[in-house]
Amino acid sequence: MAPRTDFPPVRACLFDMDGLLLDTEDLYTLCINMVLEKYGRPKLPWSLKAKLQGRPGPQANKLLQDWAQLPIGQEEYLGMLTELQQKIFPTTKPLPGVVDLLGALDRATASGGPVHVALATSSHSGNFKVKTAHLADVFSVFPPERRVLGDDARLRPGRGKPLPDIFLLALRTINDSLPEGEAPIRPDECLVFEDSVPGVEAGRRAGMRVVWCPHPMLKAEYTGREEEVLAGRTGEAGDADPDQVGEPGDGWAEYLASLESFPFDRYGIVVSPPASRQ
């Protein structure tokens, strides 16, 4: 099909966190593999990791346990994993291009008004603090009221990615805090930034445009299926309503290898130059 080209300018950018803003995907794998190795299990393959990414913790952990068949219960496994994560997550770093992108959006306009940002991550509040406490400057662009975490009480249990709820809630946090007189932002005026396949599907099902910026190993897992991923048609949420997902080549989503040198003009975003230092 011919891709759509008459999109309105993007007025809101909604960001995933793990593997998109931060280098935590490799750290998650490291922690899991340390547990697997202790019990003589093989390392986590990317074919399975691709299904874990972006999902709420309980769902991801069940998928892993069903595959690994560890000789320990879920509670003991989570205790070991949490202990390792508490030691390793404080070493997280922003991925290439992230700091410049967020800084540029802080100076950006679209349709004559500011470009708003919100965070939509499956990480629960405890993990979020461990991963970001040393990166307060980076995350300061996300007002506290516009941070939707995996254990947010406003999210119904079992409604995490690849369902659209977290992105629709993130948009609601923006609209609820817009300055007086600024028109509410529609889903088609939003751009979702995601690295995971379930996250891309969630963004598409929310009626939003999507940038898919995956880990190179995840990209390799979906070689030849890229258009299916961008359309949200990999079936991560089971049989989806056809009206909630896209069509291959419809122009609503694109793949980027990195967030460096982001093409703002493609999305109707105008970025002012940084203020000169006196």
* Angle, helix 74-88 to helix 24-38, in steps of 10 degrees: 130
Tokens for 226?
A: 């890229």
Cβ–Cβ < 8 Å for 13, 193: yes
Cα torsion through 139, 144, 147, 151, rounded to 10:
120
The gap between the terminal CA atoms of the chain, to the nearest Å, is 52
Active site residue 16: yes
Pick from 194, 189, 138, 141: nearest CA to 166: 194
d(CA 45, CA 7): 38
Active site residue 18: yes
Selecting among 18, 66, 188, 241, the annotated active-site residue is 18
Selecting among 6, 16, 26, 241, the annotated active-site residue is 16
Angle 201-224-26 from CA coordinates, rounded to 5°: 65
Residues near 250 by beta carbon (within 8 Å), at least 6 away in sequence: 1, 3, 4, 231
Cα torsion through 205, 155, 129, 120, rounded to 10:
20
Residues with active-site annotation? 16, 18
